Every structure is written in structure tokens, then in C-alpha cells.
Chain A
Amino acid sequence: MSTEAHSERVSRNMDGPDADAERNRAANAEAHKRSRLVRTLSTFLENRLAVVGVGIVGFFLLFCYVGPSVYHTDQIHIELSETTLAPSLAHPLGTNEVGYDQLGRLMVGGQSSLEVGIAAALLATAFGTLWGAVAGYAGGVIDAAMMRIVDALLAMPALFLLLFLSSIARPNSGLLILVISLISWLGPARLVRGQALTLRTRDYVRSVRLMGGGPMRAVLRHIAPNSIGTVVVNAPFQVADAILTVAALSFLGLGVPPPAANWGDMLSNGINYVYDGYWWLIYPPGLAIVLVVVAFNLIGDALRDSFDVRLRRR
């Protein structure tokens, strides 16, 4: 018995110094973890355009949410005595056709554009990820059926669908979010399904089954988190697209009704005065839309790059 116990101990001891070395490493574990985050962040920040993108988004967030408490304007009551005034000291960007201050309206309108855009992107991404992960993991008939639904929806012209839906119901922000995410979850669903197809054959997903785990666990704990890279990269593009869609809808006169405002509405109204030379009704909202959309696209590109770098491991 004693020789056996001895041999046991010896064979463990041969691994001893290894464990020591690891203990030393463990001391650095904390530093290690921090450095990993720092590394991802630093590669992101090394990309100048990304910093510009974050800067623009940050500026617009401040502008829309903090702006109104610094620059007070009345965006509820129309003032017909002050319609279409050119920019002046009292109104830095002039006033619109019913007398609202244009700068103040840009702030309020931005709030709803950003909110609807971001919320719709989040909803679409979350739902699309889940749909794609389930389809990819299940495979076979279920996958085929689920993806044909996606294909069918993709085949329908999105704008037609939007127009149809918003002509049935009087739109508000909540409905807009729902409608936009209804057409934009298809992209993430396809992306994630592709990922899931490769992930399901990985040993760590197989091992879930061998431990007695069900498909829910495999999808929620393993497949969805591991396709997060693709999803995160795609999300800013989704936000940009959603903001554009809101603008397009409002431009067609199917946006949120006044006195609520958004950039698309403002642009659409301004277009009526294009021959009157009222440039302040057109350029500011137009520019705001372009800038925010470009900024989100820049962030998406940079995220893709920094995820790639992290995967290179050094």
C-alpha cells in the first residue's frame, strides 16, 4: 500500500514545478485580463476613423439630449408670425414653415431618430441572432423551413411593406421600431445561421450533448455567444440603416405626426421650399442624417478590424 501511495505522490510531484510556474502566472492573471480589454480597446482606438465616428455619435448624443436644456425653444406651439425666418442671432438656424426654431427642432428630432434607429437595430439583431442560431444548430428540415421564411421576407420589397403597414396604423415611435426591426432582422439571421453551421460541429458544442444537455443550452450558451463577433460588427450598420429607413419613411410623409419631429420629417418639409432658397430647412437635417449614418458605419468597420486583431491573439 505504501509503495502505491508513494508512486502516486511521485507521479504528481513530477508535475509539481509546472504547477508552480502556473501559480506565478496566476499572479499575473488580473493584469492579463485587464490587458486583454485594453488591447481590444487600443486596436480600436488606433483606427483614427473610428475615433472620428465615435466623436460624431458622441457629439450628436450631447447635442440632442443635453442641447435642449441649454438652448431653450418652444417646440409645441406654432408661431405663424415667425415662419421661415432666415438664420439670425435669435434663431441661429432660422425657423421653419410653422415658426419652430430650426436648431431646437434639430435637437428634438434627433432624439427620436436616434432612439428609433438604435432600438430597432437592437431588436432586429437580438431576434435575428436567435433565429439564425436556432436554424443553424437544428439543421435539416427545421433549418430549411426557417431560412425559407427569411428568404420570402427578403424577397418582399421593404419599402412597400413599410408603406403598407404604416398606412394601416397611425405611426408612433413604438410602431416604427417594430416595423423597421421586422424588415431588418433578416440580415443578422443569415449571418448567424452561417456561423452556427460551423459552430455546431465544434467539439465544445458536441460535448454539451454528451453531458446530457439539451439544444436550448447549446444555442443560448455556446452558439449565440460565439457568434457575437459577427453580430457586434453588424450592429452599427443596422443602426445606420434604421436611421435611414426612418428618414425615408418620414420623407414619404408616413413618419410620426407633428408636433413630434424627426430628421426625416424636417427634410421632407424643407423640400417644399427648395425653390424659395430656404437652405436652412434642408441642409441641417440632411447633414445630420449623413453624418450620423457615416459615423455608425465607421464604427462598424473599426469593430470588425479590432475583432480580427483580437483573434490573432498577439
Chain B
Amino acid sequence: MTPVVSIEDLHTDIALRRGVAHPVSGVSFTVNKGETLGVVGESGCGKTMTVLSIMRLLPPGGHISRGHIRFSDTDLAALEEDGMRAVRGTRVGMIFQDPMTSLNPCMTIGDQVAETVLLHRKVTRAQARQRAEEVLELVGLPRARERLDSYPHLLSGGMRQRVVIAMALACEPELLIADEPTTALDVTIQKQILRLIDELRARLGMAVILVTHDLGVVAGHTDRVAVMYAGKIVETSSTRELFANPRHPYTEALFRALPENVERDRALYAIPGLPPDLSNPPPGCRFAPRCGYATPECRAEEPKLTGDRHPFACFHPLGKAGQTAANPPAQPPRAQQGAPLLEVRNLVREFPVNSNGVLRRRIGTVSAVSDVSFGVRAGETFGLVGESGCGKSTVGRLLVADDAPTSGSITFAGTQITGQPQRALRELRRDFQLMFQDPYASLDPRMRVRSILREPLAIQRRGSAAEQERAVATLLDEVGLPRAALEKYPHEFSGGQRQRIGLARALALRPKLIVADEPVSALDVSVQAQILNLMRALQREYDLTYVFISHDLSVVRYIATTIGVMYLGKLVEIGPAEQVHATPVHPYTRGLIDSIPLADPEREQRKGQAGVRGELPSAFNPPSGCRFRTRCRLATEICAEEAPAMRRFSEQGQQAACHHPLRAAL
């Protein structure tokens, strides 16, 4: 095996206004031809800075202070900028996270792919265009020739990411760096893109560095893994070996935080605290402050990365037994009896689409939510899952009366909230609250936490100033934030802490129902675990009812009592969480479950081709009959002609709308 790139003791510094951060301090690894190396860790661990160092595309103030990056016979760390330009884009290709921002909206995709070729090869425009067409076909862009003259906005997210990959591959690089290439995409598309990268690697014999925070992605698509923490590699080995037998406590902690590995009656393991400040890392082992096994030795001296086949940097490695202690038990949410607290009947929401002309004629409607019905009993958690664009967030907005449905009704605690005037709603709103996805955008940056938490109380005129003050203090205790947080501004907190503030604000009015719209999808796994544990604990304490909206079926399986699966505005399957997850009836649910990358190389590689093919069609002109038929392997003529009705599949209430269910109906 010849290494394509070999990094030796790489140190990268970034000069800040005050002091210097060391996002990469002493990283060494090699990647061989035809091999994929996965780099994993929480955000802020230096993964991205490591690969940006290889590309020498560090942010302002950043430079490589020590070490070598040996790429064939050159040392990239010492190369002149001119020389570097001959390497980037030709011999090393890079794929960034967000396909929306890595394409120029003013250039056709053909020109953008051809640009790379024109820059690096002595070719004519026609030849470059020819090459662009070849690579676009290579990355599986349908009808590549016709699409050469399309602009990026005409393509879907998955298609755009294919174009970005095509740009990276246009000059047949020896090394491909993919920095979170699928984080912005849906699971079904993620699976397609990762498979594409695998195939291309095998076909072109490239070396690939895959940077990701997702252990599932690493399990299925890499040969070797390097786990990074606070600018250092703490453990590295072959993927199978690492997943079967993690030695470093940090690696183990990452595994334990995954909801997919945890029984519903156990709490998730949350890594306490936050990654250290990289301008002033702690002495000794950098993980020691958050480690359950740490001893004074760990805090005094830094462990070296030692070992031959499976090196790790720890004084107290885990034994062959793997996980040492089981997660503490926690009561799972139980299915409740009695009348539903929230009842949704035939909910429809359509958005009119107007022409661009002066008259703005109405030319059609986007059917975002179409005939959705379900009920949620008090104390339950209803999980709503589906790909982005399936209408789950629209349902969430309708539930909290942020938007009015086109038709259908929502009844909450016996009162119909649809069709109520705003003034009447103001009173009702105290009983149902929304928890937002983005903890950065949902808190006013110019308000202190004290004012943020007091605002709902002030609006609803609840209690005197002193009582409100006490209520705010209690809220902070409940979500596990110190009192000192009161005087701080949102930007002084980490993402997880901000989400705690968001939860506290939603709780302030002591609502009966909280609609949480993707509350953990912007967070790292370890922090996600903290928030999920907290949400469960609060649910038991205050008998809360949750509607939990998420794209992540493994999170929903863990937290919900009932799961509803949405596809393109329709509810396709609904039922008890365990049942829907273990024995789905609808082919879409099955495909969604198969698309989730599992943090287990054996199972992940056995799944192979399974998943959902194609992309979500537009809701502007949804397919006739069953909306899923265009992507369904089982579809027949009847699926196009007749919309399937909901049928019962189990005594416990599993229902699905499908002509060709995976199991016979009752």
C-alpha cells in the first residue's frame, strides 16, 4: 500500500484578536490509495481545520506552525502558494458541507465544472465542456447533457451535491476530501451520496478523507477511523476494530450517547461539559475534565498515542469488555388512556402560487399538508418524522396556531383552536408552546436571559414582578442552568445551553403541550443526549405532552410513544413507536429506517442497497393516487389511480395507507 498523503505531527495555529487558538496540535495519519479514512469528533474538535490545513485554505490568521503534509513527493506544509494552486482542484479535490453555498448561483453548472478543467488543463472550451458532461454523468446526474446549461437553483439539494462532487472530480484527483458532505441533506439522499462517493473511490482509485460527526456514516463508508478530540487524535484503527472494541473513553462516550443503541427505558449517556477552549487547553489529557475514568495522573500528564494496530491515547483504556456500566434506568413515556388532549381532523394546508406577472394570477397551489388526522393523549409524546419538505414543520406551525389551515380542525383540550380570532387565541396560547430548532435564531441576541424568560410571563400578565422573578429562577433550576445565567446574553452560551434556555422559555407558562420542531438536530450527539434526557425528565415532572418533530427516526424511536410518518403532505403510517420502528408496514417507513446510517459496520454493510431511491417530488403537482408511488419499488397501476386509505395493521393501533403493505392488514 502506498500512502497518498501522510501527515506528520501537524500543528495549526489561528491568531485571534486575543491570543492564539491551536485547533490542530500534533495530528498524524496516512491515507492509502483506494482507502477511506473517517475523521470523527464533536464540533470544535479541529476536524475541519485539519483538512483545511491539507488544502492550505485556513481562515485569516491561520497558519501551519509545525509538521509535514507529505503528498507524493512534496511537502504541502512548506509549499509556496503558487505550487499549492497547482495541487488544489487537480490532485486534491474537496467537497464542502453545504451544496447551497458552494455553487455560484450566477453560473451554469456546466460552466462551473468546466472552469476547474480550464484552470488546470491545457484544453479548449469545447473540450472542457465535454469533460464536464462526462463527470456529471459519472456522478449520476440524470440527463447531464441537457442540464449543462441549468443554473444551480433549478436543482434539488441532492443534485447540487452531485454537481459539487463532479467539480471536485473533474481533474481526477488522487485525494478527495469530503467535509461533512451529507450533513445538510436528508437521510435518503445522504445514503445515495455516500454510496456514490464509495463507488467513485473504487472506480478511480482515489484516497478519501471523510470528515463527519456521524458515527453511522463512518461505520458504513470508511476503512479506517481517526477519532479527534480537542485538536488531537485520541484513537485510530480499522473501522471494524474501532466499533467492536473502542479503547478510548471518549470514543465509548460517543457511542453511548447515540439514541439508537439505547433501550427506551434507559437514560442516554451525555458527555458532561463542553470541549475545551482551544486557545488554552487543559494540561494533561484534554478529555480528563469530562472523563468518568480520569485520575490525578490524567490531569497531570498527557498520554501519548501508542499502540501498533490500534493506537489510542489514554492511561485507562477500556478493556475488551467494551462498555463498562449500563446506562441508568429512566422511565420511558407510556401510552396513556382516555380522550386525546390534542385532536387533529382532516388537516389541509395549501399555499397559493401566483404567476410572476403584474396581475399575479393564481396558477395553482402547493399542497403542503393534505388530509392529516391524528390524536395525542395527555402525557404522551407524538413523534412526527419525514424528509424535509414533507410538511411536518407546517403541521407543527398549525398546531400552535402560528398559521391557519385551509380546512380541517384542531381541537385542543376540548376547545377548537382553528378559526378562533387572534384575540381569543392569546388566552389559549399559554397552554401550547413551540420549541424552535435553531437555538441561535430563537433567542433575541439583545436580551438578557432574565428578560427572555420573563417575556412570556409579562405578556400573559402572570404574577407580580417579584413572582415572575422567582418563576424565572425556578425555570433555570429545572433546565439545569446556573442562576448566574440570568445576567448573560444568548451568545455567551453554547448551542446546548441555548436550547436549554429555549426549553425554559417554552415551559415558562406551564403549558400542557409543547411542540418541539427539530429541537436537537442542530446539536452534537453528546449535547443532544443531554437535551433528550432533560425533556423526558420534565415530561414526567409536569405531565407534559410533546409533539416531537424530527427527521431522525432513531431519535424519535427513543423519545416518542407514538410515531407518525409523513410523506409529501400525507400521513402514511402511524402507530406505537416500537412497533413502527421494528415492523413497519409502509414501504416508505421501511426505506427511511434502512437509510439511517447505523453505528455498526456489520449491520450497516449488510443493508447494502436498501433505502429510498430518487428524490422527493414537488408538492406543487403531487403524484396522483399514492404520493409515494414514484419512488416505491412495489408500486403498481392501482397506486397511480387510487389514493390508499388508512387501514389498521395491529391491535395496538398501527395504521398505514398503502395498497401493497409489507404485512397483511387486520
The residue of chain A having its C-beta at the shortest distance from the C-beta of B491 within the complex is A313
Report the bound CA distance from A3 to B426 in whole Å: 40
Chain A contact patch, size range: 35 or more
Determine whether A207 belongs to the interface, using a CB cutoff of 8 Å to chain B.
yes
CB proximity of B430 to chain A, nearest CB, Å:
7
Q: Chain A at the B interface: mostly helix, strand, loop or mixed?
A: helix
| Contact yes or no, A11 B536, CB < 8 A | yes
CB proximity of B379 to chain A, nearest CB, Å:
14
| Contact yes or no, B402 A206, CB < 8 A | yes
| Contact yes or no, B272 A4, CB < 8 A | no
User: What residues of chain B lie closer than 8 Å to A207, measured between beta carbons?
Assistant: 434, 436, 442, 505
Determine whether B425 belongs to the interface, using a CB cutoff of 8 Å to chain A.
yes
Which of B305-313, B355-363, B452-460 forms part of the interface with chain A?
Answer: B452-460
Report the bound CA distance from A313 to B482 in whole Å: 23
| Contact yes or no, A18 B426, CB < 8 A | no
**Of the candidates B16, B425, B441, which one forms a contact with A212 in the assembled complex, judged by CB atoms under 8 Å apart?**
B425
The verdict on A16 contacting B446 (CB below 8 Å), with A33-B487, A211-B460 known, is no
| Contact yes or no, A211 B429, CB < 8 A | yes
Report the bound CA distance from A11 to B492 in whole Å: 25
User: What residues of chain A lie closer than 8 Å to B505, measured between beta carbons?
Assistant: 207
Interface string of B278-291 (1 = CB under 8 A from A): 00000000000110
Report the bound CA distance from A15 to B271 in whole Å: 8
| Contact yes or no, A314 B328, CB < 8 A | no
| Contact yes or no, B534 A203, CB < 8 A | no
Determine whether B509 belongs to the interface, using a CB cutoff of 8 Å to chain A.
yes
| Contact yes or no, A12 B480, CB < 8 A | yes
| Contact yes or no, A22 B446, CB < 8 A | no
Determine whether B444 belongs to the interface, using a CB cutoff of 8 Å to chain A.
yes
CB proximity of B500 to chain A, nearest CB, Å:
9
| Contact yes or no, A15 B272, CB < 8 A | yes
Report the bound CA distance from A19 to B479 in whole Å: 10
Interface string of B250-289 (1 = CB under 8 A from A): 0000000000000000010110111000000000000001
User: What residues of chain B lie closer than 8 Å to A228, measured between beta carbons?
Assistant: 446
Determine whether B530 belongs to the interface, using a CB cutoff of 8 Å to chain A.
yes
| Contact yes or no, A26 B482, CB < 8 A | yes
| Contact yes or no, A10 B436, CB < 8 A | no
The residue of chain A having its C-beta at the shortest distance from the C-beta of B456 within the complex is A211
Report the bound CA distance from A314 to B15 in whole Å: 11
| Contact yes or no, A203 B438, CB < 8 A | yes
CB proximity of A279 to chain B, nearest CB, Å:
48
**Of the candidates A29, A204, A314, which one forms a contact with B17 in the assembled complex, judged by CB atoms under 8 Å apart?**
A314
Which of B18, B272, B485 is packed against the most chain A CB atoms within 10 Å?
Answer: B272
The verdict on A15 contacting B267 (CB below 8 Å), with A213-B455, A226-B446 known, is no
CB proximity of A228 to chain B, nearest CB, Å:
7
CB proximity of A19 to chain B, nearest CB, Å:
5
The residue of chain B having its C-beta at the shortest distance from the C-beta of A14 within the complex is B270
User: What residues of chain B lie closer than 8 Å to A70, measured between beta carbons?
Assistant: none
Determine whether B368 belongs to the interface, using a CB cutoff of 8 Å to chain A.
no
Determine whether A17 belongs to the interface, using a CB cutoff of 8 Å to chain B.
yes
Q: Which residues 221-246 in A have Cβ within 8 Å of B in the complex?
A: 221-222, 225-226, 228
Determine whether A209 belongs to the interface, using a CB cutoff of 8 Å to chain B.
yes
User: What residues of chain B lie closer than 8 Å to A206, measured between beta carbons?
Assistant: 402
CB proximity of A200 to chain B, nearest CB, Å:
13
User: What residues of chain B lie closer than 8 Å to A25, measured between beta carbons?
Assistant: 484
Interface string of B462-494 (1 = CB under 8 A from A): 000000000000000000111111011001100
| Contact yes or no, B485 A22, CB < 8 A | yes
Report the bound CA distance from A21 to B480 in whole Å: 12
Determine whether B176 belongs to the interface, using a CB cutoff of 8 Å to chain A.
no
Determine whether B443 belongs to the interface, using a CB cutoff of 8 Å to chain A.
yes
| Contact yes or no, A18 B272, CB < 8 A | yes
| Contact yes or no, A225 B446, CB < 8 A | yes
| Contact yes or no, B441 A203, CB < 8 A | yes
**Of the candidates A8, A22, A210, which one forms a contact with B481 in the assembled complex, judged by CB atoms under 8 Å apart?**
A22
Q: Which residues 180-223 in A have Cβ within 8 Å of B in the complex?
A: 202-204, 206-213, 217, 221-222
User: What residues of chain A lie closer than 8 Å to B427, measured between beta carbons?
Assistant: 212
User: What residues of chain A lie closer than 8 Å to B530, measured between beta carbons?
Assistant: 14-15, 18
Determine whether B193 belongs to the interface, using a CB cutoff of 8 Å to chain A.
no
| Contact yes or no, B16 A314, CB < 8 A | yes
Determine whether A170 belongs to the interface, using a CB cutoff of 8 Å to chain B.
no
The verdict on A3 contacting B329 (CB below 8 Å), with A15-B533, A29-B484 known, is yes
Determine whether A7 belongs to the interface, using a CB cutoff of 8 Å to chain B.
yes
CB proximity of A195 to chain B, nearest CB, Å:
13
Determine whether B244 belongs to the interface, using a CB cutoff of 8 Å to chain A.
no
Interface string of A292-309 (1 = CB under 8 A from B): 000000000000000000
Which of B290, B402, B534, B537 is packed against the most chain A CB atoms within 10 Å?
Answer: B537
User: What residues of chain A lie closer than 8 Å to B443, measured between beta carbons?
Assistant: 204
| Contact yes or no, A10 B509, CB < 8 A | no
Determine whether B540 belongs to the interface, using a CB cutoff of 8 Å to chain A.
yes
Q: Which residues 270-301 in A have Cβ within 8 Å of B in the complex?
A: none
Q: Which residues 317-353 in B have Cβ within 8 Å of A in the complex?
A: 328-331
User: What residues of chain A lie closer than 8 Å to B17, measured between beta carbons?
Assistant: 39, 314
CB proximity of A144 to chain B, nearest CB, Å:
14
The residue of chain B having its C-beta at the shortest distance from the C-beta of A17 within the complex is B272
| Contact yes or no, A210 B482, CB < 8 A | no
User: What residues of chain B lie closer than 8 Å to A22, measured between beta carbons?
Assistant: 481-482, 484-485, 497
| Contact yes or no, B455 A11, CB < 8 A | no
User: What residues of chain B lie closer than 8 Å to A213, measured between beta carbons?
Assistant: 455, 459
| Contact yes or no, A210 B270, CB < 8 A | no
Report the bound CA distance from A18 to B273 in whole Å: 4
| Contact yes or no, A203 B446, CB < 8 A | no
| Contact yes or no, B487 A29, CB < 8 A | yes
Determine whether A48 belongs to the interface, using a CB cutoff of 8 Å to chain B.
no
CB proximity of B488 to chain A, nearest CB, Å:
6
The verdict on A7 contacting B274 (CB below 8 Å), with A206-B402, A222-B444 known, is no
| Contact yes or no, A210 B441, CB < 8 A | no
Determine whether B140 belongs to the interface, using a CB cutoff of 8 Å to chain A.
no
CB proximity of B415 to chain A, nearest CB, Å:
15
* A and B contact pairs by CB, cutoff 8 A, 10 listed: A7-B328, A8-B540, A21-B274, A26-B485, A33-B488, A204-B442, A204-B443, A212-B430, A221-B444, A225-B447
Given A26-B482, A208-B459, 4 new contacts (CB under 8 A): A10-B267, A21-B274, A210-B434, A228-B446
